[in-house]
Structure 1
Amino acid sequence: MACQTVTRRTLLGSAAAAFAFGHAAATHAQDNYPSRLVRLISPYGAGGASDISLRILAERLSHRLGQQFIVENRPGAGSRLANEQVAHAQPDGYTLLYAAAPYATAEALFGKLSYDPRKDLRPIAGTVIAPIFLMISTEASFKTLGELIAYGKSRPEGLTFASPGVGSQPHLAAELLFRGADVKGLNIPFRGDSTAYTELLAGRVDATLTALSTALPYVQSGKFRVLGVASAERSAIYPQAPTLREQGYPDVVAAGWYGFMAPSATPQSIVDRLESELCGMLGQAEIKQKLFAQGLDVRVDSAETFGRFVADETARWSAVIREVGIKAE
């Protein structure tokens, strides 16, 4: 067989054809998104507010988009393991991060990261807010927030608070309360809510700030007493709980939050598709009710709004971490 003569025109023509074919293939893949299973990476283990809300949303995304959206729990290192995994994943829309509040504090707590939270991931949509409630055991000698603070001031060691980790929203809210009340306090991190609740019931810690999603059975059974909520306004989830602002602590405003992110090079068309689907389904009464029943509020943020929110959270809590002198191990 005679070999084909390769000219500059032939090369340019072949390159143009290859580019056009590749571009068309990429466009087709984006237009058909999703065409296979999508992995949703959670920075927490099973059973908490993150996992509960993500599974509700994954089920509905699977139904709406006709492909399976599966939850993969990747807990550890203050959410950095999950963040890193998605930051370094293929930017094709098939590996997404269910980002949580520690995303905004990781750099302030741990210093240089293996990923850049401002450049390596891009927001898709904000989804859920988990209000943080101040709780004590009903067996405790103190019954009100005022009595809890007075109890802490009466002891040289001050108060002990259980939290899910150093630099978590419950820990940061507790530090703001300690500072606002001028009382000594010690954050005691636990791996998982159930262990923290066991210690609270045993009287080995004085209080905790936690989401209602996991604590509700203890509240309903009369084991936990809710003293307040760290929100700007009372939460419709548990409206009988006064805000900590109402009780004289205006700076104690914090909440858990969740939203979707993707690797930064993910095509805009895929981000737009996911943003549209998420915002649409989060507006449905059925989804709102499912999340509400788990102690969670819907927060429908566009990609742009969610991005600004994360930037604001990063600035605010990084300043608190520096001022309090919180150091992660």
Structure 2
Amino acid sequence: MSVTRRTLLGTAAAGLVPASGYRAFAQDKWPSRLVRLISPYGAGGANDISLRILAEQLERSLGQQVIVENKPGAGTRIANELVAHAAPDGYTFLYAAAPYATAEALFGKLNYDPRKDLQPVAMAVVAPIFLIISAEAPFKTLPEMIAYGKSRPDGLTFASPGPGSQPHLAAELLFRDAGVKGLNVPFRGDAMAYTELLAGRVDGTLTAISTALPYVQSGKFRVLGVASAERSLIYPEAPTLREQGFPNVVAAGWYGFMAQGATPQSIVDRLQDEVNRALTNPEVKQKLFVQGLEVRSGRAAEFGKFIDDETRKWSALIREAGLKGE
């Protein structure tokens, strides 16, 4: 076969294509292999369950295998750091949780920069948190609970998943605004916290209604309110804490997708669109609702602003209350 001058020139020109050109070509083909979604918690919790629901839908729409990897520990920092230091190729994403916005304020300098090493892709869901007490408690309403706390030298004790968690921070807001002393008692998981609540060794907790509902329905727990701006469709019987005189006590767990900070915009945009599309699926919405989760779709910029607002709000409280991570 003869080699023409035109062939030689074409081959030479192809050799001059910059690396960025190959990257752009690769981005157009994304995804071409397995995609990893990193959960900062262990299996079985709301973060893990909701991510698996969404991963199944994303696998269908992306046409590639999508797997969930659980990397729990250190107040979500292990998972955050893993994705922050991952290759920016669009094959490793973080399913960030609310402690992402409080890590720096609680723990000081991190092994990653939350503003540069990670970037928002799309918010996914919100987990409203409800104020729960034992049905055997010596108080039946929020005002009675506050009065009870003020009558005791040590104030109120609240169970939480740990320092800097949304239940913990919401409780700190309530203590501050109610003018009552409060002690956060951390537990590993709802089951242990509920055992202590039933035994009367803690006065209350702020938690997802999905795990508490069986106790509520059996008459063992009482719901005093929800720490949301508006009543939750998940359990509309519960008045907001705002309605009960505490307008600042607004908090919720939240989860959303983030990418390594240098991930190409085209990939971020594609995943953003696919996540938002998945969240409009009636079957997906119903599965999340059953888990006590509310859909919160939106663009990457909106999610970024939300994280910035959360970081400012909770960092101020953490400094004011003198809280430190463990």
Which category of TM-score, normalised to the shorter sequence, fits these structures? over 0.9
Shift of 1:113: 0.4
- Structure 1 120/240 Cα, relative in aligned 2: closer, same or farther at 3 Å? same
Deviating more after overlay: 220-229 vs 99-108 = 220-229
Shift of 1:26: 2.4
2:152 matches 1:155: yes
- Structure 1 20/217 Cα, relative in aligned 2: closer, same or farther at 3 Å? farther
2:233 matches 1:236: yes
Shift of 1:23: 4.0
1:170-228 deviation digits (Å, cap 9, x = unpaired): 11100111111111100011112221122112211110001123222322333221100
Hey, what does 1:319 align to over in structure 2? 316
- Counterpart mapping for 1:175-324 below 5 A: 175-324=172-321
Aligned-residue Cα RMSD (Å) equals 1.7
2:44 matches 1:70: no
- Structure 1 19/90 Cα, relative in aligned 2: closer, same or farther at 3 Å? farther
Distance 1:81 1:312 in 2: 23
Shift of 1:299: 0.3
Find runs of 4+ consecutive structure 1 residues off by over 3 angstroms.
16-19, 21-25
Shift of 1:141: 2.2
2:55 to 46, 54, 58: 58
- Structure 1 160/284 Cα, relative in aligned 2: closer, same or farther at 3 Å? same
2:29 to 22, 28, 32: 32
- Partner secondary structure for residue 297 of structure 2: strand
Hey, what does 2:161 align to over in structure 1? 164
Contact 1:49 1:214 in 2 (8 A): no
1:100 to 97, 102, 120: 97
2:138 matches 1:141: yes
Hey, what does 1:121 align to over in structure 2? 118
1:37-60 deviation digits (Å, cap 9, x = unpaired): 111111111222111211111111
1:37-96 deviation digits (Å, cap 9, x = unpaired): 111111111222111211111111112212221111111111111100000001111110
Shift of 1:17: 4.2
Q: Number of residues paired by the alignment?
A: 317
Distance 1:69 1:136 in 2: 40
Distance 1:216 1:195 in 2: 16
TM-score, normalization: structure 1?
A: 0.92
Distance 2:78 2:100 in 1: 11
- Structure 1 18/79 Cα, relative in aligned 2: closer, same or farther at 3 Å? farther
Question: Structure 2: 5+ residue runs without aligned partners?
Answer: 1-10
Contact 1:49 1:213 in 2 (8 A): no
1:244-278 deviation digits (Å, cap 9, x = unpaired): 01111111001111100010111111111100111
